[in-house]
Amino acid sequence: MSGMLAVTITVNEKSYRREVEPRLLLSDFLRHELGLTGTHVGCEHGVCGACTILFDGESARSCLMFAVQADGHSITTVEGLAKDRDHLHPLQQSFWEAHGLQCGYCTPGILMTLIPFLKQNPDPTEDEIRHALSGNLCRCTGYQHIVDAVRLAAEKMK
Amino acid sequence: MKPAPFEYHAPDSIDKALDLLHEHGSEAKLLAGGQSLVPAMNFRVVQPGLLIDLNPIGELSFIREEGPVIRIGSMTRERHLEFDASIEKRIPLLHEAVPFIAHPQIRNRGTIGGSLVNADPAAELPVLMLALNARLRARSASGDRWIHARDFFAGMFTTALEPDEILVEIELPISSAHTGWAFMEVAPRAGDYALMGVAALVTLNKQKKCQGAKLVYLNAGDGPVEAKGAEKLLEGETLNDKLIDSAAELASGTEINPFGNIHASSDFQRHLARVLTRQALKQARQRAGMDLQ
């Protein structure tokens, strides 16, 4: 069974059926099989957080799962956040307004980390925000503007 | 950075997983949360011929309070330990320590059984199992056996499990009302592997003397390290600051064996152990209901 396996995976509320090799990482499945390149791949060993997605609603590293494991499960990627091109999710809008990104490489992973975080903690302190971000590396911003963006988002989402 | 090819099986019961393990032997590897195994596979440090994915086995995921113990299925996610009300109430040391394990994204996938079987000396859960006197239930085709936490960890990334066994359950005694607890660690960043960490428990008798103590360290040797000499020093005594200092001195100076790494020399790790032991024992003492001031 190291041959191809059939999987049916719901991504951003759309169901996809594909044949995959067992060793295909979920991150590569999203990018290469589905063309959803919003999920970024940084370290591929679970340290940088760039590939964070929602797996059945909870944040997870997509580089530390195989696509076959997502069979029958529901994934949300950064592409699933905005309603359309003109209507960003309030969290995305806040990152724009507060300059919460520079190169943008880490941003999708950070957004997908923060979606469940803000659901669980709608009015976080700076400490809590920094703690929530500890699993996501950003090498541009020094995090200050990211923290500002999260605060702004919490305001907007109230 | 891509894993080598492997066969994949996703059995939906323990029995089916055991059959596969029996059939394929050392060729096979069990996949729990994958938060340590998958990075190792991505690096091709580990190249199993076959993966047996335990994630679909619902019967391995539970937290049940039963009389004097709490039973936890080996595939229970760390995130579920973190938010479980009976663990918070009955085993506060575990409740306090789980948030120190990596990041929320990791705890959402990582499992208690996976971490224990991985037996990383820098991991939190092995230390907690030793401190909490856990028993671990292993199952093979020939039946079940219970292994005490103190016999389970057999060195760096090594356990007492046989190749045909699966860890199925962890049994933790409920903490006594007279037991104080503390878990502390120092890490370069929140969620990183800690440079040093300690789990402390002290139980007081009616005379407010120490009836029993536990001090277990992470990243202090080739597995979770219990400072039995320091524990003995505390037993039967009044836990004053001077005694706590002596226990911290003994544990950090001679009982642990930290190796040092690029972030911290072994001397610095011993220093951290000394400071953390003092702080943890004082907090545990206070939580056990003893206020010296």
From chain A, the residues in CB contact with B107 under 8 A are none
Q: Are residues B97 and B164 in the same domain?
A: yes
Spatial contact of A132 and A114, defined as CB atoms under 8 Å apart: yes
Confidence of residue B10 (pLDDT cuts 50, 70, 90): very high
Is the per-residue pLDDT at B292 higher than 60? no
Q: Is A44 close to B1, i.e. CB distance below 8 A?
A: yes
CATH number of the CATH domain containing B17:
3.30.43.10
- Whole domain around residue B31: which residue ranges? 7-53
CATH of A5-80 among 3.30.530.20, 3.40.50.10740, 3.10.20.30, 3.30.360.10: 3.10.20.30
Region for B88 from its dihedrals, namely left if φ exceeds 0, alpha if ψ lies in -120 to 50, beta otherwise: alpha
Question: Which residues are A45's β-sheet partners?
Answer: none
Which of residues B153, B173, B193 is at a domain's end?
B173
* pTM for the full predicted model: 0.96
From chain B, the residues in CB contact with A61 under 8 A are 35, 105-106, 109
- Domain-wise residue ranges, chain A: 5-80, 90-156
ipTM for the assembly: 0.95
What is the rounded CA–CA span in Å between residue B154 and residue B82?
Answer: 27
Q: Are residues B27 and B95 in the same domain?
A: no
Superfamily of domain A90-156: [2Fe-2S]-binding domain (1.10.150.120)
Closest CA in chain A for residue B49: A2
Q: Is B104 close to A2, i.e. CB distance below 8 A?
A: no
Residues, chain B, total?
293
User: How many domains does chain B fold into?
Assistant: 3
Residues of chain A with pLDDT under 70: 1-2
Which whole number is the average pLDDT over B227-251?
Answer: 98
Distance of CA B105 to the CA centre of its chain: 19
pLDDT tens sequence across B247-287: 999 999 999 999 999 999 999 999 999 999 999 999 999 99
